[in-house]
Amino acid sequence: MKRTIKDLKALRGKVVLLRVDFNVPLDENENITDATRIINEIPTINYLSEQGAKIVIISHLGRPEGFELRKSLWPVALYLMKNLKCNVSFCNTVLGDEAVERIKALREGNVLLLENIRFYKEETQCDKKFSKKLASMADIFVDDAFGVAHRENASNYGVARLLPNAVGFLVEQEIENLTKIIEEPKQPFVALIGGAKVKSKVKILERFIEKADVILIGGAMAYTFLRAKGENIGTSIYYPESERDAKLIMEKAEMAGKKLLLPVDHLVVRDSDKKQKPFIVESMKGDMAGFDIGPKTMKLYAKELKNAGKIFWNGPMGLFEKEEYSQGTIAMAQAIASSKAFSVVGGGDTVSAVNKAGVAGRIGFISTGGGATLEYIEKGSLPALDIIQERVK
């Protein structure tokens, strides 16, 4: 059992570096389209604030290459300013004099949100000097960024080694609920995996096969698998660097006698004529690009979900942010909600799809992690959490 913020004593006046996952979806006008990850973090922030800590929040947003204005955490700062009882300020840098001065000026119980930590390449490199600088700004480190705990980054793994540490309420809840799905004995275990983060997810999926009985693939992920199978995917998005892994996963699944299903029809548009309406095909060709699963696939996958004993879902089935491509994803959300299985749904976009479908209340547990949740279910641990101190009995 990890040490939690409740185990930390005498927080008044202490600078707490709180790592969170505020990697939330934003629309083209930088409006937050789903605030679940922020809402779920509020209890931890409120608790630390009530204890009189000076709270310095670190998060990433997206995968920027250097500074990108569109990946600024400013919209999140505005959200916190509106929704927290304590005073919230924003610092448009993470290190340097300005950040140091702003932390010095921070009053007990108040929050300072720092700019996107991934504007610094040292973050994902887990640079030692960078981790040291981060640690030097605080007295205590609290890791509540479950969604990124499968990554060894400077602001979680790197800094945790250098400061007294604990997890927040969000991580505590995640561990409690994900342990439930791991221990749930009802079979079959159906995993529905989609989305576009193919490269990192196929690696986890390769090991995840051993846990699941049925694997349903959709979204951009599916086109890489279909292509690896030798099918024509037209001009659909696919990730050539993951084709080999996809092939390996299919072979592994076959050898292990696991059912791995790929879409049997698709909602496509023709590249050459963007004004044309999307239409359904069973086999793609030429200038067709897939944007959602088709009705036959929806039916096929819904049947597997209905018969499941436990379900894990991560990644939308198509470009669901656009109404015309959202049917497959919404259908899957509804199928999971209607199933009697214990279900866990994870990942920023997937959670947002569940909210869009209006079925959040009928899901067993909504996890804030995507890849992290997949890896936790597979291994029962995550590198950035392993490093957090155990609770003293």
Is 286 considered catalytic here?
Answer: no
* Sole binder of ligand 3PG in the list 25, 109, 147, 290 (CB under 6 A): 147
| Size, binding site for ligand 3PG by CB under 6 A | 12
Show the binding pattern over residues 157-196: x = contacts ligand 3PG (CB under 6 A), - = does not.
Answer: ----------------------------------------
- Which window, 12-20, 102-110, 146-154, 175-183, contacts ligand 3PG (CB under 6 A)? 146-154
| Three-state SS sequence of 103-146 | HHHCCCCCEEEECCHHHCHHHHCCCHHHHHHHHHCCCEEEECCH
The token pair at 389 is 């101190």
Q: Residue 368 CB, nearest distance to ligand 3PG (Å)?
A: 8
Measured from the CB atom, the residue of 197 and 356 that comes closer to ligand 3PG is 197
353 binds ligand 3PG per the rule CB under 6 A:
no
Residues 159, 384: contact at Cβ < 8 Å? no
Among residues 6, 12, 63, 303, the one that binds ligand 3PG under rule CB under 6 A? 63
37 is catalytic: yes
Among 14, 19, 133, 197, binds ligand 3PG (CB under 6 A): 197
Residues in the chain: 393
Give min distance, CB of 54 to ligand 3PG, in A. Answer: 25
- Site mask, ligand 3PG, residues 10-49, x = CB under 6 A? -----------x-x--------------------------
Known catalytic membership, residue 186 = no
Residue 63 to residue 118: CA distance in whole angstroms:
7
State which residue, 63 or 299, has the beta carbon closest to ligand 3PG: 63
Shortest spacing between CB 119 and ligand 3PG, in angstroms? 14
Give the whole-angstrom CA distance, residue 156 versus residue 161.
9
- Considering the complex, what minimum distance in angstroms separates the CB of residue 117 from ligand 3PG? 11
Tell me which of 371, 374, 378, 385 binds ligand 3PG, using CB under 6 A.
Answer: 371
- Torsion sign, CA atoms 364, 370, 372, 375: positive
CA 320 to chain centre: 16
Cis peptide preceding 188, ω within 30 of 0:
yes
The owner of tokens 């990942």 is: 347
Q: Are 246 and 272 in contact (CB under 8 A)?
A: no
213 or 245, CB closer to ligand 3PG? 245
DSSP symbols for 275-336: TSPPEEESS--TTEEEEEE-HHHHHHHHHHHHT-SEEEEES-SS-TTSGGG-HHHHHHHHHH
Q: Parallel, antiparallel, or unpaired for β 266-270 and 288-293?
A: antiparallel
Query: Does the protein bind ligand 3PG through residue 315 (CB under 6 A)?
Result: no
DSSP string, 12-29: TT-EEEEE------B-TT
Q: Tell me which of 71, 151, 227, 356 binds ligand 3PG, using CB under 6 A.
A: 151
Note whether 370 binds ligand 3PG by CB under 6 A: yes
Binding ligand 3PG (rule: CB under 6 A), the pick from 17, 148, 228, 363 is 148
d(CA 313, CA 18): 28
The answer to whether residue 151 is catalytic is no
Which residue out of 14, 19, 197, 310 is catalytically annotated?
197
Please answer whether residues 266 and 281 qualify as being in contact, where contact means their C-beta atoms are separated by less than 8 angstroms: yes
Q: What is the DSSP letter of 384?
A: H
For strands 279-281 and 266-270, give the pairing: antiparallel
Task: Name the residues that contact ligand 3PG, by CB under 6 A.
Answer: 21, 23, 63, 147-148, 151, 197, 200, 347-348, 370-371
By annotation, the residues acting in catalysis are 37, 197, 348, 371
